[in-house]
Amino acid sequence: MQKRQLGNSGLEVSALGLGCMGMSSAYGPAADKQAMIALIRKAVELGVNFFDTAEAYGPFVNEVLLGEAVAPIRDQVVIATKFGFDIDPDTGGRTGGLNSRPEHIKAVAEASLRRLGTDVIDLLYQHRVDPDVPIEDVAGAVKELIQAGKVKHFGLSEAAAGTIRRAHAVQPVTAVQSEYSIWTRDPEPEVLPALEELGIGFVPFSPLGAGFLTGKIDANTTFDATDFRNISPRFTPEAREANQALVDWLGEVAAQKQATPAQIALAWLLAQKPWIVPIPGTTKLHRLEENIGAANVELTPDDLRQIESFASKIQVQGARLPEAVLKMTGR
């Protein structure tokens, strides 16, 4: 697979990464651990070297899973993980919402290193901006971890442009991770221009719209009781029915390009900027292979104009996340 650099940092990763969250949480019961270890190793064989996890996924078990999967090939992969929540280390329950106090960041980094079974975290993100801790203090804490050789690169997730600039002035930010796809365009007005100016890479999560852009979900689809899509405004049956037009059209483009709707959605992201690296997640080998195939789908300038023209006419129904979660983003 082709490689991309995350901004000016020198961190080179595969053009598509693999988001590991759904292997352990958010989309229903955790998948079989050994099957997921095999899937991660297969991804490496197929050219993926960029893997995304977080202490909050599970919590904790996703880092353990990824660490075990890549242990024999640690030098071939780039591991990204995250801090930023108060999570009880004994029960895994969130005890106090956000927490990016410097001493907490350092404690979480040490715990993540143990769970991942590694001596260095390649990319450490702040999972959500903590309004109670100046971003300069957060960047300073990660800078100390980098100076200590425990972290290589600093990242932010769902941060606003002004916050990114302030953090970058203390410790250069390698990558920003936020939701971005053909149906979630929030980063375009302010965040993406700031990243381009500062030389920071961008890592879109949910690049397939939590599965909706694959064309395999419709108004009649039901989700497991523990699946977060049950509480997502964009996944009510009414919203799904209203948003189906976008997926239908992606299917038409896909047919013309001898591809799938998912591949068109990913190829569209890859075509936006050379420093954008999407991290689609999956628990299925055939989906992994399908997603990786998107890197070989070439969208011409005319294709991109047609997609943009159609997408601009679609009013996507439903907020991308529940209101309580949205309040923690874009700070």
User: Number of folded domains in the chain?
Assistant: 1
pLDDT at 88: 86
- Against a cut of 0.95, is the pTM above it? yes
Q: Has residue 190 been placed in a domain?
A: yes
Q: Has residue 21 been placed in a domain?
A: yes
CA atoms 188, 242, 207, 165: torsion sign: positive
- C-alpha span between 100 and 140 (Å, rounded): 11
Q: Has residue 233 been placed in a domain?
A: no
Residue with tokens 């991290």: 279
pLDDT at 309: 94
Three-state SS across 47-60? Answer: CCCEEECCCCCCCC
Q: What angle do CA 316, 27, 107 make, to 5 degrees?
A: 110
- C-alpha span between 250 and 66 (Å, rounded): 32
Q: What are phi and psi of 13, to 5 degrees?
A: -135, 165
pLDDT at 95: 62
pLDDT at 91: 75
- CA nearest 108: which of 271, 197, 116? 116
| Residues classed as catalytic | 57
pLDDT profile of the chain (331 residues), mean per 10: 96 98 96 98 98 97 98 98 92 79 98 98 98 98 98 98 98 98 97 98 98 96 96 96 95 97 98 98 98 97 95 93 89 90
At 178 the three-state DSSP class reads: strand
pLDDT at 30: 97
> 286 is in which domain, residue-wise?
3-208+273-296
pLDDT at 247: 95
At 304 the three-state DSSP class reads: helix
Q: Has residue 31 been placed in a domain?
A: yes
Q: Has residue 250 been placed in a domain?
A: no
pLDDT at 94: 65
Q: Has residue 251 been placed in a domain?
A: no
Q: What is the CATH number of the domain that holds 73?
A: 3.20.20.100
Q: Has residue 112 been placed in a domain?
A: yes
pLDDT at 90: 76
Q: Has residue 22 been placed in a domain?
A: yes
